[in-house]
């Protein structure tokens, strides 16, 4: 909340994804997730995912997205797009002058953006925060 100081979350450096290692004095004093995850604070927003169209990209219903509106859209990146009055989360695929919004779930079809659509790439996803349990 505005005006509150970040108390910091205790941070443990060096969790190995291979063989276990001793935890010898690996704790740092704390971590400020805003400093780690947000490069451009004035243009960054968070949003909660609703739906399963990006599940095969590891983004599931209920996950939290960190979205930066200042990042230039690029082919193959995941973006929050505004299409005909609704927001959607998809991978951007540019094919010449044509833009496709591609889901990461075989149950959904790609959406071809045409001149008839009210369309805007609203922001680029920089991180997802997932709850797995």
The catalytic residue positions are 53, 90
CB 69 within 8 A of CB 44: yes
* Beta strands 86-95; 98-102: pairing state: antiparallel
Contacts of 28 (CB under 8 A, 6+ apart): 10, 11, 12, 13
């Amino acid at each position: 909340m505005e005006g509150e100081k970040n108390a910091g979350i205790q941070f443990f450096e060096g969790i190995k994804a291979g063989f276990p290692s001793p935890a010898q004095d690996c704790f740092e004093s704390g971590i400020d997730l805003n400093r780690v995850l947000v490069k451009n604070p004035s243009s960054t927003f968070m949003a909660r995912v609703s739906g399963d169209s990006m599940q095969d990209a590891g983004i599931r219903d209920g996950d939290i997205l960190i979205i930066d509106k200042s990042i230039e859209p690029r082919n193959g990146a995941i973006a929050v797009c505004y299409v005909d009055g609704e927001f959607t989360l998809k991978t951007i695929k540019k094919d010449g002058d044509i833009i496709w919004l591609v889901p990461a779930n075989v149950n959904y079809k790609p959406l071809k953006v045409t001149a008839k659509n009210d369309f805007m790439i609203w922001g680029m996803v920089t991180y997802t925060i997932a709850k797995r349990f």
